[in-house]
Chain A
């Protein structure tokens, strides 16, 4: 009975963490799904957002929950500008050139963080950092619940944006048929910039929520880029539902594998899952077969 309860608690914790993973992966999948650009600077953008949150908290005394919208806004503007000024010129070039470009942006961002913030881990020490919600006998730590709730809200808003707004529908139309979108007079360049901005804002929001749970340092970015890719490949590149499912699956599997087997095997389990999906369903759980 105790074991089952402990396992249940661990699974809930894994799902809460997985929800934040999903938000991070949503940004990546939105950009790829619409523009077919693989954003290798995804983890770096997340780390930039984490540092902005640390700065907002440490210097301005702004709680991360409050900093969520401004930081996501800054990342939106950054993504929008980056797409309009740089990436847009690489949309129709061979993919390897896009890869190199995104890697270059990643290296610039991580080194900028290193120069400005130094190599040491930094975090936010909130008054409620060590508090937990008690639901019956279940204990859920507050920051993780807040982070998961924030992620859920943002993901829901994103779904509404793509399904209910004119701009969202236009972006989907441009993603489905680039030439058709041009023919009917859509400003595809602007739509792409908005899309990249939205992707950056998503990962920015994920960064704000993540820094409530873990400390940030520049080289964390590589791990997050890898994690985001693992999630979207499992869920299906370009699929919003896939990103959500993939994030939850990774969060859950890491927690359960750590609890039942060995915590050192957490990453092994994630990558094992990735290989399994690639073997059985290469397009991912929710991806469309080519």
Chain B
């Protein structure tokens, strides 16, 4: 038998080797971009704390991502997405590692991560690797003050949250005719809490609020017992409690207040999670009632909200449609919208498209989704959401309200809570 194959020449061998090496050394994101031309699904890396201390919140966010494709289909967006999900375990270092993993796995865009510390870590990775990152929830203003090219945020910064909250508090006092004279601020001491405490201290004098903040009590977000913290807050005899909380600690706070029989005029948060989440209602039952959260909320008047609500109810009939779902869905929407316009998953093309984002109809309260020069959406507004009949209900501003606010809140064992 004769071997008719030509031997591989040194030139061919060297050329092939160089081409192979070039392909292998090309960043994963560019390989993905090369493969994506607008017809392929957009690979979105979703980084959320689905275990650990923020597990409940991360899982709520994930539901927003999980319904996104169905909602986009209903809206005839014509974009296919593929979610690459990762758990940050409520840990900054894990968030960083998982972001790297998702990029290596071909994610063209990242989103997440609910928490400021974790989002800041992911932002660094996104910037270093040159992959667009759309933050769903994180309020620390520093993230968008760094001049990052690839990082976009569709969530209010701490000063935006505080401004909205103070304004809504004044509306609450005016609407109910009851004005507290003193308040105590209790806050987690993580990146978000520290930003909020700093912002409140700095901005409070400018707002001419009718009450004085008599004490600021910081605590560990992983705290397992808040009895001392609540005892200290109770000792101030403040008229209202303003908690800057997460979910688990918000539950612990109310439980301790019940045990210590501390019944202030109200629990009115200045723009923080914890009190409108499903787990809060499930765990606390009647004690979850009448807490007020001043936060961005779903806009019932938007055309897109009912579409999201319908798909959400189909997929998660036992879960609550709240802001974690809304903002995570919007993050996916923003990425999909950019991909639809640019028809490319190349990072630079996507970043350019993200800069030009203008989505008039979306699910959260506020103006069009648009990013300023720092890539921050400044059009988001807050609403006063009060827990009424085990549902977070918009009570202010009056033109978006579906119920009247109740303030002062009834006592822990009042019939109104039954």
Spell out A's residues near B (CB within 8 Å). Answer: 2-3, 6, 9-10, 13-14, 17, 118-121, 125, 129-132, 139, 141, 144, 213-215, 217, 220, 254-255, 258-259, 262-264, 266
A13 to B228, CA, bound (A): 8
Check A130–B229 contact: CB distance below 8 A: no
**Interface flag for B74 (CB, 8 Å):** no
Check B231–A10 contact: CB distance below 8 A: yes
CB distance from A249 to the nearest CB of B (A): 16
Task: Give residues 204-258 of B contacting A (CB, 8 Å).
Answer: 217-220, 223-229, 231-232, 234-235, 248, 255, 258
CB distance from A265 to the nearest CB of B (A): 10
Residues of B within 8 A of A266 (CB): 228
Residues of B within 8 A of A264 (CB): 189, 218-220
CB distance from B89 to the nearest CB of A (A): 7
30 chain-A/chain-B pairs, Cβ below 8 angstroms = A3-B235, A6-B231, A9-B231, A10-B228, A10-B232, A14-B228, A118-B51, A119-B51, A120-B56, A121-B53, A121-B248, A129-B255, A130-B287, A132-B259, A132-B260, A132-B261, A139-B259, A139-B260, A144-B227, A213-B225, A255-B227, A255-B228, A258-B228, A259-B231, A262-B217, A262-B218, A263-B218, A263-B219, A264-B219, A264-B220
Check B255–A130 contact: CB distance below 8 A: yes
CB distance from A132 to the nearest CB of B (A): 5
A10 to B235, CA, bound (A): 11
Residues of B within 8 A of A220 (CB): 224
Residues of A within 8 A of B259 (CB): 130-132, 139, 141
CB distance from A245 to the nearest CB of B (A): 21
Give me 19 other A-B pairs in contact (C-beta within 8 A), A144-B227, A213-B224, A263-B232 excluded.
A2-B235, A6-B231, A6-B234, A10-B228, A10-B231, A13-B231, A14-B228, A119-B52, A120-B56, A131-B259, A132-B260, A139-B259, A214-B225, A258-B232, A262-B217, A263-B218, A263-B219, A263-B226, A263-B228
A129 to B189, CA, bound (A): 27
Residues of B within 8 A of A139 (CB): 259-261
**Interface flag for B283 (CB, 8 Å):** yes
Closest to A261 in B: B232
**Interface flag for B55 (CB, 8 Å):** yes
Check B234–A215 contact: CB distance below 8 A: no
Closest to B257 in A: A130
A264 to B283, CA, bound (A): 26
A17 to B225, CA, bound (A): 10
Closest to A120 in B: B55
A115 to B261, CA, bound (A): 39
Residues of B within 8 A of A125 (CB): 283
Check B260–A258 contact: CB distance below 8 A: no
Residues of B within 8 A of A10 (CB): 228, 231-232
CB distance from A120 to the nearest CB of B (A): 5
Residues of A within 8 A of B235 (CB): 2-3, 6, 259
Closest to B186 in A: A263
Residues of B within 8 A of A215 (CB): 224, 248
CB distance from B15 to the nearest CB of A (A): 50
Task: Give residues 64-82 of B contacting A (CB, 8 Å).
Answer: none
CB distance from B220 to the nearest CB of A (A): 7
Residues of A within 8 A of B217 (CB): 262-263
Closest to B237 in A: A2
Residues of B within 8 A of A144 (CB): 227
CB distance from B228 to the nearest CB of A (A): 4
Residues of A within 8 A of B224 (CB): 213-215, 220
Closest to A119 in B: B51
Residues of A within 8 A of B220 (CB): 264
The 3 closest A-B pairs by CB, nearest first: A258-B228, A119-B51, A214-B224
Residues of B within 8 A of A119 (CB): 51-52, 55, 89
A9 to B259, CA, bound (A): 13
A94 to B287, CA, bound (A): 56
A110 to B354, CA, bound (A): 44
A213 to B224, CA, bound (A): 8
Closest to B255 in A: A130
Closest to A214 in B: B224
CB distance from B6 to the nearest CB of A (A): 57
CB distance from B106 to the nearest CB of A (A): 26
A215 to B224, CA, bound (A): 7
Closest to B256 in A: A141
A130 to B417, CA, bound (A): 16
A217 to B235, CA, bound (A): 31
Residues of B within 8 A of A130 (CB): 255, 258-259, 287
Residues of A within 8 A of B225 (CB): 17, 213-214
CB distance from B345 to the nearest CB of A (A): 33
Residues of B within 8 A of A262 (CB): 217-218
A131 to B229, CA, bound (A): 18
Closest to A10 in B: B231
Residues of A within 8 A of B52 (CB): 119-120, 217
Contacts A132-B259, A141-B259 given: A259-B234 contact, CB under 8 Å? no
CB distance from A89 to the nearest CB of B (A): 36
CB distance from A260 to the nearest CB of B (A): 9
Check B51–A120 contact: CB distance below 8 A: yes
Task: Give residues 142-185 of B contacting A (CB, 8 Å).
Answer: none
Closest to A121 in B: B248
Residues of A within 8 A of B89 (CB): 119
Residues of A within 8 A of B55 (CB): 119-121
Closest to A9 in B: B231
CB distance from A227 to the nearest CB of B (A): 11
Residues of A within 8 A of B261 (CB): 132, 139
CB distance from A116 to the nearest CB of B (A): 14
Residues of A within 8 A of B231 (CB): 6, 9-10, 13, 259
Closest to B218 in A: A264
Residues of B within 8 A of A213 (CB): 224-225
User: Which of A6, A132, A217, A263 is B229 in contact with, Cβ under 8 Å?
Assistant: A263
Closest to A260 in B: B232
Check B283–A141 contact: CB distance below 8 A: no
CB distance from B130 to the nearest CB of A (A): 32
Closest to B52 in A: A119
A6 to B215, CA, bound (A): 16
Residues of A within 8 A of B218 (CB): 262-264
A129 to B55, CA, bound (A): 23
CB distance from B28 to the nearest CB of A (A): 28
Check A141–B287 contact: CB distance below 8 A: no
